[in-house]
Homo-oligomer: A and B are copies of this chain.
Amino acid sequence: MHKRRKSEILSAAALCFAAKGVHQTSMQEICEAAAISAGALYRYFESKDAIIFALAEQERLENAELIAHLTPSEDIVEGLCQALPEIVALSGDEQYGRLTIEIGAEAARNPAIAEVFARNETELRGALVDALKRGQGRGDVDPSLDPEAATFLILALFDGMPGRRLFVDDVAPDRLVGTLAGFLRKILGSA
């Protein structure tokens, strides 16, 4: 079926991109990894850029989901803390980390991909900012906090983790989770 084949190709491409980099991977290599001919591949994606684009979209959706499902109702501080194990685990997955970096680099130069990023970023930031403001209203969150700046910094921290874990591997995930949870509580919490 069409969707299935497309996602097979995307997985193969993700593997290649993570291993060698977007621009070091040739279409032939993707074809081989996906066990498909060049001609057939182009029925599913009209260009290499379209593959990168689709991966960017897919990744950002996953990413957004991860953080989005914690914002709706409860105490965000605790919500965020509960999501940390998953976020930290993901940031430690080598293939995920490498792909994230590649796609991010691509977004820095390819306007179409930058747009995918921008769309999700806007939603994500908006959600987090709103949650923080709600928390401030409710008294869960430090009322003196600058919600936009705090959101920026928290998301920057999440962004920076995969790259760092590619080079540094001597801090166990649970120490990161524990320390990060402590940080968030101190930083955001009222009292």
| A interface residues (Cβ-Cβ under 8 A, vs B) | 19-24, 97-98, 101-102, 104-109, 114, 117-118, 121, 125, 145-146, 148-150, 152-153, 155-161, 163-164, 166-168, 170-171, 175-176, 178-180, 182-183, 186-187
Contact = CB atoms under 8 A, between A and B. Distances in A.
Taking the full assembly, how many copies of this chain does it contain?
4
Contacts of A171: 148-149, 152
A161 B156 contact: yes
A77 to B, nearest CB: 13
Task: Name which of A125, A167, A182 has the most chain B CB atoms within 10 A of its CB.
Answer: A167
List the 3 shortest-distance A-B pairs measured between CB atoms, nearest first. Answer: A160-B160, A156-B160, A159-B160
Contacts of A152: 164, 168, 171, 176
Chain A binding surface SS class: helix
B153 A108 contact: no
A150 B149 CA distance: 20
Task: Name which of A20, A145, A152, A166 has the most chain B CB atoms within 10 A of its CB.
Answer: A152
Given A148-B175, A153-B180, 6 more contacts: A19-B109, A107-B167, A153-B179, A153-B183, A156-B161, A157-B157
